[in-house]
């Protein structure tokens, strides 16, 4: 039995939480008995759930493993992550998703829910064994070719039809491939000045519009990964106004960073640390994404944690890999972009980083409110802390963060997975 003393649930009045046998047994004042942990007035949130994590295992264990990636997740306050399918081999069969699921059970510092590929080998030619992955021990409900777009409209329609049988969802990486061939950054004023091939907003928006129409046509669930433009927000708002079952995510970096960092930043020009897919966009896009996350047009924050080894990232811009690590800074960036600006309170953060992602992924034991009888998945967060981001202190195997040297608000103090601490005093247990 553990009693966590002096925490503020969703930023409310001080309270104590008694945890017994993995469950929140009691919430009240002056609780005692068992092992006592001083919460120090931290904000208590339901354990965070990430719908979009790249754990890289199997195949790229030099970048991340299930063990290091879930350590990174726990340090970021996460109690569950969805592991994207673009591994090697690709998670496109029951065998591979069960392998990832078993690695999670054995080495995970949080729950690991494999995402299944939509098409065989992510090649966009033939549907993968969606039903077999859904029926496997991993019980896959989220399917995505993330990293690539399911650009064939017939395949996308079939996938949306297929997942209805088991209440699954297709999570689309919306990128029209022909419109983004050779693209290096956002298409706009800055790309024009730098002479880099641009990545037009329409390449994202056209796919989102098409997929919303397809999902409505077949009556299925669509989830839009990493929305990055103001125009995408307008399309999703329209689809929701029709009552269609469309959800969407935004990454922390798209809520904070803009494309002019490619030209001028604290770490110089053309620094590939800012190279990411979809690309960083403009200040107007950032403002639209923040407003959409606040008003519920965008449902959740998902990290798109994309670890890369140094040799793939610290090279010339055109050759560098796309992506940023994000699990250990997500909550701080959301505090900076959404809480400090008055756009969200802690209850709003809990909805968007725990309850709703768990619901989209159909996870039963995650994302529940901190109430008596709920599984004790709890994140304790000190929003008054200020931390200079030091990548060498990350639990992730990779260091490719755009926030190095920046001072961000907040610090994850502790994380509990079904009552068992995975992080205490900011350190892995
Ligand atoms: Zn993606």
Q: For residue 214, how far is its CA from the centre of ligand 1 (angstroms)?
A: 20
CA distance 185 to 104: 34
Q: For residue 175, how far is its CA from the centre of ligand 1 (angstroms)?
A: 9
Q: Quickly list DSSP for 273-323.
A: GG--SSPP--HHHHHHHHHHHHHTSS-EE---B----HHHHSS-GGGSPP-
Q: Give the per-residue pLDDT at 248.
A: 99
Q: For residue 165, how far is its CA from the centre of ligand 1 (angstroms)?
A: 25
**157 and 217 Cβ atoms separated by less than 8 Å:** yes
Grade residue 135 by pLDDT with cuts at 50, 70 and 90: very high
The 10s digit of each residue's pLDDT in 315-353 is 999 999 999 999 999 999 999 999 999 999 999 999 999
Q: Give the per-residue pLDDT at 160.
A: 98
Q: Give the per-residue pLDDT at 46.
A: 98
The 10s digit of each residue's pLDDT in 257-270 is 999 999 999 999 99
Given 304, 312, 345, 390, the catalytic residue? 304
pLDDT, mean of residues 159-169: 98
Active site residue 16: no
Is pLDDT above 90 for 33? no
Q: For residue 173, how far is its CA from the centre of ligand 1 (angstroms)?
A: 5
Give which of 46, 30, 26 is closest to 372, Cα–Cα: 26
Q: For residue 194, how far is its CA from the centre of ligand 1 (angstroms)?
A: 25
Neighbours of ion ligand 1 (CB under 5 A): 146, 173
Predicted TM-score (pTM) of the model is: 0.98
Residues 6+ apart with CB under 8 A from 305: 50, 52, 53, 54, 69, 72, 73, 81, 324, 325, 326, 327, 396
The 10s digit of each residue's pLDDT in 12-24 is 999 999 999 999 9
Q: For residue 250, how far is its CA from the centre of ligand 1 (angstroms)?
A: 11
Share of the chain above pLDDT 70, in %: 100
């Amino acid at each position: 039995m553990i009693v966590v003393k002096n925490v503020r649930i969703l930023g409310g009045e001080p309270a104590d939480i008694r945890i017994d046998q993995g469950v929140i047994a009691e919430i009240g004042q002056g609780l005692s008995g068992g092992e006592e942990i001083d919460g120090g007035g931290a904000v208590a949130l339901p354990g965070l759930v990430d719908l979009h994590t790249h754990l890289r295992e199997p195949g790229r264990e030099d970048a991340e493993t299930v063990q290091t990636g879930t350590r990174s997740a726990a340090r970021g306050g996460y109690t569950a992550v969805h592991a994207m399918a673009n591994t090697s081999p690709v998670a496109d069969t029951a065998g591979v998703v069960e392998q990832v699921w078993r690695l999670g059970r054995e080495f995970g510092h949080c729950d690991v829910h494999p995402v299944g590929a939509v098409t065989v080998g992510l090649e966009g030619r033939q549907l993968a064994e969606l039903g077999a992955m859904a029926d496997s021990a991993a019980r896959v409900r989220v399917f995505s070719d993330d990293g690539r777009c399911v650009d064939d409209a017939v395949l996308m329609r079939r996938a949306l039809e297929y997942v209805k049988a088991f209440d699954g969802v297709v999570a689309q990486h919306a990128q029209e491939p022909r419109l983004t061939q050779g693209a290096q950054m956002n298409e706009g004023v800055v790309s024009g000045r730098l002479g880099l091939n641009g990545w037009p907003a329409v390449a994202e928006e056209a796919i989102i519009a098409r997929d919303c129409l397809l999902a409505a046509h077949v009556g299925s669930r669509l989830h839009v990964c990493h929305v990055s433009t103001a125009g995408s927000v307008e399309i999703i708002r329209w689809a929701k106004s029709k009552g269609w079952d469309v959800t969407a995510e935004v990454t922390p970096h798209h809520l904070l960073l803009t494309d002019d960092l490619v030209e001028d930043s604290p770490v110089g020009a053309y620094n590939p640390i800012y190279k990411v897919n979809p690309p960083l966009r403009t200040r107007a896009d950032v403002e639209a994404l923040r407003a959409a996350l606040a008003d519920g047009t965008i449902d959740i924050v998902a990290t798109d944690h994309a670890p890369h080894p140094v040799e793939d990232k610290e090279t010339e811009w055109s050759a560098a890999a796309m992506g940023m690590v994000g699990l250990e800074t997500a909550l701080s960036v959301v505090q900076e972009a959404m809480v400090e600006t008055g756009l969200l309170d802690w209850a709003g953060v809990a909805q968007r980083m725990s309850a709703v992602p768990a619901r989209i992924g159909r996870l039963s034991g995650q994302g529940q409110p901190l109430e008596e009888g709920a599984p004790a998945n709890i994140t304790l967060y000190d929003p008054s802390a200020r931390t200079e981001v030091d990548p060498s202190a990350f639990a992730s195997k990779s260091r490719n963060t755009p926030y190095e040297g920046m001072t961000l608000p907040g610090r994850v103090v502790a994380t509990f997975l079904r009552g068992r601490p995975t992080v205490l005093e900011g350190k892995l247990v």
